[in-house]
Chain A
Amino acid sequence: MNRWTAVIAHELLCTMRERLPQVLLAVFVGMVAASAFIGSSARASVTGVYSEAVRQGLTTVPNPFDSLSPLYYARNSVIYIVLIGALLAIVVGVYSTLRDRQARTMDLVLSRDVRPSFYLSAKLAGLGLFTALLLAVSAVISIACISVVAGRIISVDDGARLVGLYAVAWLFILPFLCLGMLAGLYATSVTSALLIPIVVWSVTIFILPLLGTAAHPVSLLNPVASPPAIQSGFFAVTSNLVNPLSLGEHFKHAGALILADPQATGTVTTSIWTILAFAIAACVAVIMTRRGRMRSALHD
């Protein structure tokens, strides 16, 4: 095992031993499974009522669920990734860099033949692998649950779309992972290290879309991106300014298109390029952190 893989293995081990990420991990995987259960029970209830209505001769229309793609049951996963997945990534990122500063092990690492950029990029790779594994498990759970709800194994095309959704989800949570790592490196206290990225997350996910679209706050919990604002007045200006920064909306837009949601319109390209640009910029910011910053002491 070389130094690169040693840091990755160490990062995975430390992350899996931390309590808070463990809890968030359980919540995230639990929510993915719960969304499938909710879809299943909704389908069972509606189908039960429909069957009874058909039996009594009250309707001749087809079962509304028959026209739905199995991917419809996965649409809520998009919002769970935006809410819980991104938060989990922030917490994991914060703990990763804060751990070294709290335990004062950074000096032990940097007094060895290890460059700061090498160490941080290896840590990032370890956390990237952790989140990829997490999303892979979620994808498997999602495919299994949808198959159960739909009563059949989903098609290869639908399976590929789900895998595509989780691949874009990984790209989407990468900037939040980096945001957490940067907060762990730059914050002067543990509290601010956790609070600052959560404030940035809430601004990105909730405040910016509100400024750009005048959407109702609750509608931001909808798995489909908010419609664009009217093309005049205040929102026409703010929409152009904040739309590229509304990372959550870009992911919801891309996710809805990947899952072939009938409400979603447009193309996926711009959203994916925007998410990719954020991911690359965030990774570069982490890797370029200087030795002195990595060694700085916490004030609490």
Chain B
Amino acid sequence: MTATAISTTALTKRYGPHQALRELNLTVPTGEIFGLLGHNGAGKTTIVNLLTTLMEPSSGTAEINGHDITTAATAVRRSIGYLPENVQFYDNLTLAENLIFFARLSGVRSVGSRISEVLDFLDFSGHENQRMGTFSKGMRQRAGIAQAILHEPSVLFLDEPTSGLDPQGVAKLRETIISLNTKLGMTIFMNTHLLAEVTKTCTSIGILSSGTLIYQDSVDATLKSFPDQESLEDIYLHIEAGQRA
């Protein structure tokens, strides 16, 4: 039986009268690279905010590695890594100074050696003493991944990780995400708009529309289930259109 990394039961989030998430039931098995797709305002970031314990749900529950996000938030935080969209970091500090801060906040014991290990893994060594203010968008994203995995989390949340990256940056980040999954065994949950990337990176997908999960399956099964559609993008648009109809 496959272990479950992420599970939600009737997870709901309301902002005043607006219902951002409606009774979401989602399961992500351990070891998956799960891509959450959806239009702007569909509720993708809300899900990530709830699962990373940054927000509390209005109703329903969710568990990360069996830990409830509300009643065992501390255990959840210890087992996850998170890279928000468009994170900037402390521009006046060097990469090493930024990572040292986040490593210490995460309770990492041998900070120096762990940072070297992570930067080597990400093929990002040599930039430690460079100020973050001089980094390109792609370098920032890699720094973001580095801070997210310093404490060796088992589940990694990435919110629009490829947003604003050039094609080389996207390819490099894809390699990194896949190696985090295959070499370190991390379960990865990512929100994305780039449907072509999902086919190349993710093992399973979910489609969110106006706060409701309307589809979930593996990428392979999805491609087989819609033989008349040419790409995942077509499948996504087809499912979304079906939902609206």
Contacts and interface: CB of A to CB of B under 8 A. Distances in A.
Contact of A13 (B52, B82, B97): B97
B93 interface: yes
A7 B74 CA distance: 19
Name, among A17, A109, A292, the residue most crowded by chain B CB atoms within 10 Å (CB to CB): A17
A3 interface: yes
Contacts of B77: 111-113
A104 B144 CA distance: 12
A78 B107 CA distance: 43
Contact of A113 (B78, B90, B97): B78
A14 B93 contact: yes
A292 B15 CA distance: 12
A113 B102 CA distance: 11
A103 B82 contact: no
Interface residues of A, number: 26
B203 interface: no
Name, among A103, A109, A291, A295, the residue most crowded by chain B CB atoms within 10 Å (CB to CB): A103
Which applies to chain A's interface (DSSP): helix, strand, loop or mixed? helix
Interface in A1-26: 1-3, 6-7, 10, 13-14, 17-18
A2 B52 CA distance: 23
Nearest to A10: B101
Nearest to B82: A111
B78 A105 contact: no
A243 interface: no
B169 interface: no
Contact of A112 (B55, B91, B93, B106): B106
Given A14-B90, A105-B88, A108-B87, A3 B107 contact: yes
A105 B54 contact: no
A1 B106 CA distance: 12
B20 to A, nearest CB: 14
Contacts of A3: 104-105, 107
A99 interface: yes
B111 to A, nearest CB: 8
Interface in B66-115: 74, 77-78, 80, 82, 84, 86-93, 97, 101-102, 104-107
Contacts of B86: 104
A111 B53 contact: yes
B187 interface: no
Closest 7 CB pairs of A and B: A6-B104, A17-B92, A103-B88, A111-B82, A111-B52, A10-B101, A113-B77
Given A13-B97, A17-B93, 10 more contacts: A13-B93, A14-B92, A103-B87, A104-B86, A105-B90, A107-B82, A111-B52, A111-B82, A112-B106, A112-B151
Interface of A: 1-3, 6-7, 10, 13-14, 17-18, 99, 102-105, 107-114, 291-292, 295
Interface of B: 52-55, 74, 77-78, 80, 82, 84, 86-93, 97, 101-102, 104-107, 147, 151
